[in-house]
Structure 1
Amino acid sequence: MPGDDPDALVPGTFGPANQPSKTVRTYVQNSNDSPWLVNHHASDWFTTLPRAMVKTNIAQDLRTRHGLTAIPALGASLTRASMEGLVFSNRSHAATLTLADTVAMCRSMPLGFAPSDAGPIAVGDSCDVLANWDGRNDVNSRGALLFQRFWERATLGATLVEQATKNPWKNPFTATDPIGTPNGMAAAAGHRIDFGNALRDLASAGIAYNARFGDHHYATRNGTRIPIHGGGSTGGIYNVNIAQWDPAKGYTEMLHGSSYVQAVSFDGDACPDVRGFLTYSQSENPNSPHYADQTVEFSAKRWITQRFCEADILASPALTTVTVTG
């Protein structure tokens, strides 16, 4: 109990012996979830610790499940470069689990019309757009906007009461398969309405359901829109960048998500091998050359070399020296 641990560093807190701890030579990951599944082999690592420390045998966030699927798939190729590719793959784990079901539901709409809260709306060729989408929220992706809006409708709801009752899943969570479950999309009439509402949301905001993702998911600097890839953790996307939905405008400026992003490896010499971004750039001054520069690089997925050792700094072609006196 807190306050009773003899090794507590501060009275009234848990001591180190009651903190989650494990040493492994493979990998660990966390996506703001319980430390229960920091590795795809970890389901029995922390089961004896207090629930205040580790919640076990509960459904995990889709972003956690994506990491626990994608990282082991890298195998021996777990390198700085492969991690860069993983972070910016922008794959929606929700789409991995439900896109086929979503397309099938779309194609089953009676007479080609989806129900919505405002009445029937034509699905047009939106089913084909989703079928041809690769499940990634890249700036050039077409279909990502429609699926993201549908998934938000299907999982978040418009009110707290709706959020408490929303359950898109066909197959429920099981503790014996915490990475693979829940999965599949339930064949519920409410999901047809969610899909129709998503189509209507986009149309009301003047957005085509086959529009490029980056045209409507962006950061604005000096009046210029910079396309931003990624998406919400609700969809299980590693690269979190969340924009608020405005019924009249669609997705607006980024609210939160990626800030400082880095990929680091240690390749045997004294200096770490690092690439990264400050995604919102370094300056708040619109007149500064650093007001948008790293945001532009982030948009283009051009990782920036970070230099830590003196020899690397001196070798930088962009190095300038400023002497301060006085």
Structure 2
Amino acid sequence: MEDNNPLPTKLRVVCCIGDIHGYITKLQNLWSNLESCINPSDFETALVIFLGDYCDRGPETSKVLDFLISLPSKYPKQSHVFLCGNHDFAFGAFLGVLPSPPDGSEFCETWKEYEMNEEREGWYKGESFENMHLQGRRWAGNHTVKFNAVKGIDYKGSIYDAAPTFESYGVPHGSADLMKVVTDEHKKFLANLVWIHEEDNVTIKTEEGIKRCKLIAVHAGLEKNKPVEQQIKTLKAKDTRIPKVAALSGRKDVWEIPQELTKTPTIIVSGHHAKLHIEGLRLVIDQGGGFEDQPVAAIVLPSLEIVRDTDHLVK
């Protein structure tokens, strides 16, 4: 399909920010660096897409949510998109803020497929567990295996490393008191996270020059072997019948751009994978910021500039 519309003279800046995982200082430094390296009038009107995973691992989830919630009033001319990551989904599931399954089924239906993992992952069995989505139980559980061989570090409480999130609200890991102490404002933020965001007319620098594309932002990616339209519909509907949402938590199956999206130029941007990967229109922006010694990264479009919290930029 030929795009015969000329490019606008002023190209809108889009910032896509990778996984933050409870590190408020990294987030503040990254934001300051974005402000330093983007022209002030462009930054003032930028579209800022947060790619999900605001909680867990780092020590200050509560402060991270405060920061994100404050942005629309501090930067009223910006547009802000807050995607749901698999960690945020699980946190919301524990707090009971996910939408009910559309077919009227119970959340406990989501346990069945994975019940063989219940003992090893030490699923949550405390107050209100009887009808909690699978991921909420896994999130607040107590993992029986203490060492995560894949990452080479100990689990922080659960398979989701959720203990620091509990502690950031002043309660011990696995305590049902978290449901009472998380503020309504934070619950509303988690409830309102979108599972996918589509944006038309996003410009990106390519070898052939500046190209105008559609952009799809989703935490992990889209499954390559399922019809895209069906996936987008399910994600927009926030279908909580699904025990494990591949677009939020998948790995290899969501890495590539589905073939049908290569017919018209479509950028797919994600976090989740603990990698920084830019290949054509597939952007994965997560430099492992959930680990203490790794940076939180962002990409700026159309320039494709990578900005990190660790950059020393002079204003």
TM-score range, shorter chain: under 0.3
Greater gyration radius: 1
Q: What TM-score, normalized by structure 2, do the two folds share?
A: 0.22
**TM-score scaled to structure 1, two decimals?**
0.21
Greater relative contact order: 1 or 2 (C-alpha under 8 angstroms, separation 6 or more)? 2
